[in-house]
Structure 1
Amino acid sequence: MNAVLLVGRILFAFIFITSGITHFAKLEAMTGYAKYKKLPAAKFGVLISGLFFLLGGVYIAIGLWVDLGALLLAITLILAAVIFHNFWKETDATAKQNEMIAFNKNIALAGAALILFALIAFGSLTEFGPSVGSLNFFDF
C-alpha cells in the first residue's frame, strides 16, 4: 500500500511541480496572458499561483504536509478555473470547448486535491507522514 501511495503522490504532484516551474520560467508570457484575462496585479498573481503549485506539488510528492499542499492546489485550481477558463463568456465554439475542457480539468483536479486534504487532515490516511492536520491547524 505504501508503494502505491508513493507512486500516486508523485504522479499527482508532477503536473503541479512542472506547472509551478513554468510559471517562473515563462513569467512574462504568463503575465501577458493574465493581463489578457484582466487579472488585477497579473504578475503577482502568476508568481503566487506558481509558488502555490510548486509548494503544493513538492509537499505532496515528498509526503510532508500533504494536507497543506493539497489545500494550496485546490484553492489555486478553483481560482484558475473561474478566472482563466470562464467558457461561459466565449462566443467562438472552438474557444468555448477548449476553455470548458480546461475548466473541467481544473475542477476535477481541485476535487482530487480536496479529497486528499480531507483524508489526511482528518486522520483517515496517516501513511503519508507528518501533516499540518496532525498539528491541529485544521481541527474543526
Structure 2
Amino acid sequence: MDILVLIGRILFVILFLHSAAGHLTQTKAMTGYAQSKGVPASHAAVLGSGVLLVVGSLSLLLGVWADLGALLLLIFLIPTALLMHPFWKETDAGAKQNEMTQFFKDTALAGAALMLFALIAFAGDELGLTWTGPLFDFD
C-alpha cells in the first residue's frame, strides 16, 4: 500500500512542479496573463503562487508534512479555478468550453488534494515512505 501511495504522490505533483517552473521562470508572461484575468497584484500573485506550488509539491512528494503539502496545493487550486478560469464570464463558445474544462480540472484536483490531506492526516505515522509524520492528526 505504501508504494502505491508514493507512486500516487509522485504522479499527482508532476503537474504542480511543472506549473511552478512556469511561474518562476516565465514570470513576466504569467503576470501578463494574470493581469488579463483581473488578478490583483498580479506579479506578487504569480511569484507567491509559484512558491506555494514548489513548497506544497515538494512537501507532498518527499513526505515532509505531506498533509500540509496537500493543503497548500488545495489553497492554490481554489482561487486559481475561480480567478483564472471563470467560464461563466465568457461569451465565445470555444473560449467558454476551454475555461470550463480548466475550471473543472482545477476543482477535481482540489478534491484530490483534499482527499490526500485527509488520508495522510488520518493515517498518521502508519503511512510509510515519508520522512516525517503528518502535521495534523485526525485520530
TM-score (norm 2): 0.91
Secondary structure of the residue that 1:91 maps to in structure 2? coil
Alignment root-mean-square deviation, CA: 1.7
Q: 1:71 to 1:128 in 2, by over 3 A?
A: farther
- Contact 1:64 1:128 (8 Å CA) reproduced: no
CA distance in 2, matches of 1:29, 1:77: 20
Residue of structure 1 in register with 2:136 after alignment: 133
- Contact 1:18 1:54 (8 Å CA) reproduced: no
Residue of structure 2 in register with 1:116 after alignment: 116
Matched, 1:56 2:56: yes
Shift of 1:128: 5.2
Same amino acid, percent of matched pairs: 50
Cα deviation 1:40-96 (Å, max 9, x = unaligned): 100000011111111111111111111111011011101000001000000000000
For structure 2, the 5+ residue unaligned runs are none
For structure 1, the 5+ residue unaligned runs are none
TM-score (norm 1): 0.90
Q: 1:115 to 1:128 in 2, by over 3 A?
A: farther
Residue of structure 1 in register with 2:105 after alignment: 105
Q: Which runs of 4+ in 1 moved over 3 A?
A: 122-125
Shift of 1:122: 3.2
